[in-house]
A and B are shown apart, each in its own frame.
Chain A
């Protein structure tokens, strides 16, 4: 079956010739019209549209945005803050970068609509430190929007006022975790907070109710408020509404970003048709479907079970290529849609070496607050690095698994899960390769193989 056409609602203007990131160009293309209309509507109506839309957060967890907004404590008398999570740092994910660099006003408009809907008077965009140009572009765009009355005092001539400031991170992955981000914005180490009691919706920034939304999520909000929640549910599939931006990297002919209706395209269509298939002379071996912490899939494995289609339960029997790319389908086969970062590995890749690369990342990025994560991620890195650069033992797979199994569920934040899932899934799916590694590492590497750690 041929892949469907892209449906670009968020990336509509990305890479469009002649489209620039200044206010004039945005306004020429109908920009800020949605905000102008929104500020004349009752805020509760806007929240209802987002609830109706079924929008799920695009940062990785897929938590319903309307529910998140519904949890905000509006009776505390304290100010409500909104933070844009622009700390895009899940390996394999690179969608927010393009929104911020090429279409920053789309983000600002979505942010202001969300602020108005939730009676927020101050918003912050927390952008990762490694995007200095992105931060400057956003600052310039905010200044332009402020001068034009779309940000700051008396927005669009109303009595509503709300400002946005850009706040730069400084290279720590854990700042993508919303409570770690809040700590960082408060000027501290980004040690995530324990929940309960520190749910951001109740006790967030400065112990005030706080909404933290991903960049792409807020752009979807703008689209939803413009077209209506019901219209949005017509895009995508039930419970996986709207579009998803897939960031494909690694061993495919045409890596890049592609926006499709959620669940309307399969992994096989995405990789073989849209991305042009494997590199010449290679075959696909494995794919990580939703950022590096998502559990890996092995080409050739099959997934069977029952799934809901409308009101009925039907059997499914999928290969990796057959899996529809949406939160629920990927969840059913034991992995996740996460942030949309699809990392493809072909037959030149040794899985022990790939895992060693991932483990080095998580070990570097653990905040160090919880012992199982700090020590576990370090030991998983040490073991896999030793296997590659030192002596590999047949029993290493079992040892790695035992370390990984002792982390999840025993940490304050989801980093514990994120760092153990790669090890657990690599060993579950490629256990043979780990057991044979002491022998196979002595053999010549396949042509085109790269050093990974």
Chain B
């Protein structure tokens, strides 16, 4: 595992939060995913060694929780809420707008490698539906016009790089 020093430091710190090392499984996976962008195949062995577990103990956690991913995604992750309150306010249209803007389909990396668009379940902001989580930032009342505006912003930021 090729992790940044800051990540390794956070990993050692977070393990001290728990009387039982295994409890640090989720925090470690979050930290690795934030550093690498996804959980590469060697994650299971590495985390298992770190927490004195069997690799299967880590794999079963990775495959259970929807936020953990074993494959790289686009540079930006666009998560559109699919659940009832957002759908009632047009969440499906919002998602379709993002797909159109980046010429891609849900669950795939866009051809330019810029985004991955996913449907996710309830993001707990139903009063400002439809909502979209782009990386760590929540965007509220994202109708098609706002989806276009957010897409343009992502594209503009990509150009600057």
Where the two chains meet, the residues of A that have a C-beta atom closer than 8 Å to any C-beta of B are 88-94, 96-97, 122, 128-133, 165, 167-173, 184-190, 206, 247-251, 255-257, 292, 341, 343, 345, 349, 354, 357-358, 360-361, 364-365, 367, 450-453
For B124, give its contact among A94, A133, A187, A367 (CB under 8 Å): A94
Whether B26 pairs with A91 at a CB distance below 8 angstroms is no
Contacts A251-B88, A358-B84, A451-B92 hold; do A94 and B26 have CB atoms under 8 A apart? Answer: no
| B88 touches which of A131, A247, A250, A361 (Cβ 8 Å) | A250
Q: Does B89 contact A (CB under 8 A)?
A: yes
- Nearest CB in chain B: distance from A426 CB, A: 12
- Least Cβ distance of A183 to chain B in Å? 10
19 A-B pairs (CB sep. < 8 Å): A91-B83, A91-B122, A92-B122, A93-B124, A130-B79, A170-B29, A170-B67, A173-B122, A189-B64, A206-B20, A250-B89, A255-B127, A257-B127, A343-B84, A345-B88, A365-B121, A450-B92, A452-B88, A453-B87
What are the interface flags for B38-60 relative to A under an 8 Å C-beta threshold, 1 for contact and 0 otherwise? 00000000000001000001001
Which residues from B are CB-within-8-Å of A364? 66, 121
Interface centre among A90, A188, A247, A453 (most CB of B within 10 A): A188
B30 touches A187 (CB 8 A): no
A185 interface neighbour in B23, B60, B126, B129, Cβ under 8 Å:
B23
A91 touches B29 (CB 8 A): no
* Residues of B close to A361: CB separation below 8 A: 82-84, 121-122
The answer to whether A206 and B19 have CB atoms under 8 Å apart is: yes
Q: Is the CB of A256 within 8 A of B127?
A: yes
Please tell me if the beta carbons of B93 and A173 are within 8 angstroms of each other in the complex.
no
Instruction: Please give 5 more A-B residue pairs, beta carbons under 8 A apart, in addition to A171-B121, A190-B65, A292-B84.
Output: A129-B30, A188-B22, A249-B85, A343-B84, A361-B121
Closest chain B residue, CB of each to CB of A96: B124
Residues of A within 8 A of B25 (CB): 187-188
Q: Which residues of B contact A90 (CB under 8 A)?
A: 122
| B127 in contact with A128 (CB, 8 Å) | no
| Chain A residues in 8 Å Cβ range of B17 | 165, 167
Does A130 lie within 8 Å of B123, measured CB to CB? yes
Q: Are A172 and B65 in contact (CB under 8 A)?
A: yes
Q: How far is the CB of B117 from chain A (nearest CB, A)?
A: 16
Please name the residue on chain A nearest to B92 by beta carbon.
Answer: A451
Q: Is the CB of A187 within 8 A of B26?
A: yes
B47 to chain A, nearest CB (A): 10
For the complex, give the distance between the alpha carbons of A345 and B122 in Å: 17
Name the distance in Å between A235's Cβ and chain B's nearest Cβ: 24
Establish whether residues B126 and A94, one from each chain, have CB atoms under 8 Å apart when the complex forms: yes
> How far, in angstroms, from A92 to B129 measured CA to CA in the complex?
10
Q: Is B136 an interface residue (CB 8 A)?
A: yes
Q: Report if A452-B127 is in contact (Cβ < 8 Å); known contacts: A168-B30, A169-B26.
A: no
B142 at the interface (CB under 8 A from A): no
Question: Least Cβ distance of B116 to chain A in Å?
Answer: 15
Given known pairs A189-B60, A251-B88, A452-B84, the reply for A128 and B124 (CB within 8 Å) is yes
A132 to B24 CA separation, bound complex (whole angstroms)? 17
B125 touches A94 (CB 8 A): yes
